[in-house]
Structure 1
Amino acid sequence: MQRFLLDERSFRRSLLWSVLLPLLLVAVLAGVLLWQVGALLEANRWVEHTSNVIGALNRTERLLVDGETGLRGYLLTGERRFLEPHERSRTTLGGQFSTLASLVVDNREQSERVNRLRTRAESWQLYARGRLTASGAQRANLQANLEGKRRMDELRTLIQQMLSVEENLRAIRTSTAQSTASGTILLALVALGTAGVILVVFVRARLVQLDDEYRKLLKQTRSQTEELAKREERFRRVVESNIVGILFADLEGQIHEANDAFLQTVGYSREELARGQLRWDRITPGEYTPADARAVAQLRQSGRCEVFEKAYVRKDGAQVQVLVGAALLPDSDSDEAVSFVVDVSERVRAEVQLRQLAETLEEKVEARTDQLQQANRELEQYAFVVAHDLRAPLRSIQGFVEAIVEDCGRTLNGECREYLERIDFSGRRMEQLIDDLLAYSRLGSTEIETRAISLEAAVSRALEELSADIQRSSAVIRVERPLPAVQADRVILVQVLTNLLSNAIKFVAPSVTPRVRVYARQNTSQARVRLWVEDNGIGIAPDRQERIWGVFERLHGFETYPGTGIGLAIVQRGCERMGGRAGVESQKDSGSRFFIDLAEG
């Protein structure tokens, strides 16, 4: 052990550069970047807001000018047609002032100017109504008309003052937005560079092992690909050999592709096939319709049908007796099937070949299925091994921390002890993350067998596991009994309920006592049970509710709400393994209602 111990000075340097600095730097950069992006969005919003105020002021000025112009034209000519812009201005100004007032509500001085502007505009409108009712001689009164011009000049001056204020605000806010954008870009580049350095330092040790694994998988994949290519080549040769008729058709009757042997059997050309004129239901005599219906039912039920005898009507009107066998294509989304058609005159040879082709097709499907299953098992095993291998270096770090505390505890100063506590905290957090990752991986690899499980017993067990958290938070849990039974795996069901109840207790606002309600609703028509977990927590915005089910997805910082970000992923995957699903109904700051939906027990 002694040769692994570091003196205080070396320990502090190694600790600072290899552990704390990268982690803290990434966290700080991420937080500052998020703050910077928020500041940029806020600055751009204020620039746009100021532009809207300026636009509203310009529209208000145009309405006032239109009103004055219309009034002046009428006073000079006495013609009513000049009053149209004046009337339009009079009816529109009220709404325009309301819009302007709502835009500057955040600016007390501008709000006061809007009120003065509205008051003066109303005074001008009273003056205008008086001028409109004056006699012909009074309308020509120069002194009265000059009074109207004086009042309008006051309105324009006040609007120009407001425009000047808003233009200055827009210039300041635009400059702020530009500087914020530059800072955001620079910070993003720094964060990207830091992340790259961290990846190089901490992932490099795994590259050799990953390369070996990749080469092994690549070798296996190449071998499987070559074998698959050989099988596909054999199948292609069978189709093109025209030993038997082969066609690809949907279950509604349309034939999409066929080889020459089939076209020769029914007497149609490939051009007619390409034009969609060839349908197996139209060239089948009516007495064989029940046999076709049974074959279609077998295909829908099991993916293949038994070989049966029927007849086709050739293009020249003659009937030809054939043996038909079919199987659904495994990768088809439209119930497309491949069918083999053999002339009955060569029955013996055709039956042998048809069985061989059917077996080959089945083996091909099974081989592809096995390949996919094997790939899934390898990926799950790989995730398990990676998470499991992380335990060894983690335990080494924790062992060194314990050794340093035991051997050098009295010689370490307060700063070093703080470093050790941070390492221990990070280690425990990493250990929880590994445990959750392993639990999530096991959900995909463990064989489960569902049976009738009492929801009451499962909820009680989950509450027992959370008793310490409930006592520490003084949470109030109300379970509305009785709860029905469901089809589930007991261990997975308790794990799902524990995660949901833990989140309900954890995600509450500071100084708020968690209150959780657990109840169930049965859908007898569909034989389903939905269990609800309702809380008084901080809620989830609708646009973020899809994200919470992903692995490592967190909507809040670890310091605010501790956790690994895997709990809800385990809930969703566990429900899917048990033949059910999970969901949530929530609004921000209004609590959440999570549910799991399972079959009745």
Structure 2
Amino acid sequence: MIGAIASDSTSTKPSVYITSIATICAAIGIPLLIHLITKRKISRRLSLVTEAALKIAQGNTKHPIQVSGSDELGHIAGALEALKSTANELHRSNTELEKFAYAAAHDLRAPLRAIQDLVRWTIDDPDTVFSASSQRNLKMLLTRADRLSALLSNLLAYAQVGHDDDDITSIDISDLVDAAHDLLDPNGRFSVQFDGPVRTTTTYSTPLHQILLNALSNAIKHHDAETGRIAVSTSCADGRLTVTVSDDGPGIPLNHQDQAFDLFKTLRPRDQVEGSGLGLSIIQKYAAHYDGRVTLRSDPEVERGTHLTFDLLNSSLAQATAA
């Protein structure tokens, strides 16, 4: 009897050990497995949220956010959905505003041109005799009409940024500078020198042309003398073309430089300057739209002049971006 009991006791020991080991393994393995599954699920959801955030940051508001739930990631996904809606509404409002500005500026040009012609015909009419004050008023009216015409042209240019053909071509910057100089300063009052060293580049043609045109125009219009010097220098590094337009004008005070790129901002009264206050705004908008940067350097208390520097993607990088 005793031997039988001892035999049974001995035979049950392996079973007890196996059960204990299985219990320990289950106690450790099941939570570990749950942890791994949960971690993988969270990692997947986090990856989806991160991808969606990056797409939205790049301007792709149509990218789906495939994450939901009542936890922190679910709340972040909800916030991103709200951000997408806000971004879409802002884009729609900006598009409508640009369309309105373009349409208004375009439609106003015809009646304004008629007013300019009528005033000119009246001034030039030999059969009409005006007093000195009337002649002065008519010329002032024509001046105001010409200024409004320039403003409408600049508004059209500002609204058109981003809607031009993104042609990437080989450009001779020196020729571009000469053509802009001939257009803006037909009497040759200003010396415009191209210093290089980069003369030929392959980049977006319209932005480069418009930025250079506005930079040179700004330097000429805001100069405080009848004559002056403007220098255009270029460089290429890290796949980017950098252009600096330097003048010997009065410069821009440091306390006004933060406002220099604001719409319709001029540092002198309208009666003293031809500009509409849109030149630098157009430059900044073009640079931003084409992944470029624009900076201003000027300190009239140290030396005269302003240095306007902008850059654009160059050559193969521009082609890859356009594609």
Give yes or no for TM over 0.5.
yes
- Give the C-alpha shift of residue 541 in structure 1: 1.4
Please, which of 451, 457, 477 is the counterpart of residue 168 of structure 2?
Answer: 451
Partner of 2:206: 491
1:416, distance to aligned residue in structure 2 (A): 2.5
* Structure 1 residue 509: Cα displacement: 4.0
- Flag the structure with more relative contact order, 1 or 2, with Cα contacts below 8 A and sequence separation at least 6: 2
* 1:523 Cα offset (Å): 3.6
Q: Deviations over 1:401-426 (max 9, x none)?
A: 24534667443333332322222222
Map of 2:225 onto structure 1: 510
Equivalent residue for 2:48, pick from 277, 290, 298: 298
- After TM superposition, the structure 1 = structure 2 runs for residues 131-210 of structure 1, keeping only pairs within 5 Å, are none
Secondary structure of the residue aligned to 2:146 is: helix
Larger Rg: 1
Q: What SS does structure 2 have at the residue aligned with 1:472?
A: coil
1:579–1:599 contact (8 Å) kept in structure 2: yes
> Which amino acid letter does the alignment assign opposite residue 43 of structure 2?
A
- Give 1:504 shift: 2.7
Residues 533 and 594 in structure 1, CA contact (< 8 A), matched pair in contact too: yes
1:439 aligns with 2:157: yes
Give 1:190-269 correspondences, 5 Å limit: none
SS in 2 for 1:546: helix
Give distance in 1, aligned partners of 2:248 and 2:299. 11
Aligned residue number for residue 304 of structure 2 = 590
1:540 aligns with 2:258: no
- The residue type paired with residue 451 of structure 1 is I
Q: Percent identity?
A: 25
1:557 correspondence with 2:293: no
- Using the TM superposition, give the Cα deviation of residue 481 of structure 1 relative to its aligned residue in structure 2, in angstroms: 2.7
Deviation at 1:287?
4.9
Instruction: Mark the CA change 1:391 to 1:482 in structure 2 (over 3 Å): closer, same or farther.
Output: closer
8 Å CA contact 2:222, 2:275 repeated in 1: no
**Out of 125, 133, 145, which is 1:415 matched to?**
133
Q: 1:34-68: per-residue Cα shift (whole Å, max 9, x none)? A: xxxxxxxxxxxxxxxxxxxxxxxxxxxxxxxxxxx
Task: Quote the offset at 1:430 in angstroms.
Answer: 1.2
The secondary structure found in structure 1 opposite 2:130 is coil
State the SS of the aligned residue for 2:251: coil
Residue 18 of structure 2 corresponds to which residue in structure 1?
A: none
CA drift of 1:449 comes to 3.0
Equivalent positions of 1:23-422 (< 5 A) are 285-303=35-53, 326=67, 337-338=73-74, 370-405=88-123, 409-422=127-140
Confirm whether residue 477 of structure 1 aligns to residue 213 of structure 2: no
> What do the CA deviations read for 1:61-88 (whole angstroms, capped 9, x no partner)?
xxxxxxxxxxxxxxxxxxxxxxxxxxxx
Structure 1 residues 442 and 413: alpha-carbon distance in aligned structure 2, compared to 1, 3 A threshold? same
Which residue does the alignment assign to 1:600?
Answer: 314
Distance 1:367 1:536, change over 3 A: closer
Distance apart, 1:438 and its partner CA: 1.3
Shift of 1:600: 2.8
Structure 1 residues 448 and 302, CA, compared in 2 at 3 Å: closer, same or farther?
Answer: farther
| Shift in Å, 1:398 | 2.3
User: Per-residue deviation at 1:540?
Assistant: 1.2
Deviations 1:521-547 (A, max 9, x none): 3342xx433211122221111111111
The answer to whether residue 285 in structure 2 is matched with residue 570 in structure 1 is: no
Distance 1:558 1:529 in 2: 34
Query: 1:487, CA displacement in angstroms?
Result: 4.1
Does structure 1 residue 427 correspond to structure 2 residue 145? Answer: yes
Counterpart residue identity of residue 196, structure 2: E
Residues matched between the structures, number: 268
Rounded Cα–Cα distance in structure 2 between residues aligned with 1:473 and 1:424 = 24
Are 1:486 and 1:529, in contact at CA under 8 Å, matched by a contact in 2? no
Conserved? CA contact 1:380–1:441, under 8 Å: yes
Deviation string 1:262-306 (CA, Å, 9 cap, x unpaired) is xxxxxxxxxxxxxxxxxxxx99603553453344233312359xx
Secondary structure of the residue aligned to 1:537 is coil
**Normalized against structure 2, the TM-score is what?**
0.69
Does the residue aligned with 2:161 lie in a helix, a strand or coil? helix
Gaps of 5+ in 2: 1-31, 55-65, 316-323
Pair 467,386 (structure 1): closer, same or farther in 2 beyond 3 Å: same
Shift of 1:429: 1.4
Letter in 1 for 2:35: P
CA contact (8 A) 2:284 2:293 kept: yes
2-structure distance, mates of 1:574, 1:535: 21
Aligned to 1:466, the other structure's residue is in SS state helix
User: Structure 1, unaligned stretches of length 5 or more?
Assistant: 1-281, 305-324, 329-335, 340-357
Q: Secondary structure at the match of 2:295?
A: strand
Q: Are residue 519 (structure 1) and residue 258 (structure 2) matched?
A: no
Determine helix, strand or coil for the equivalent of 1:412: coil
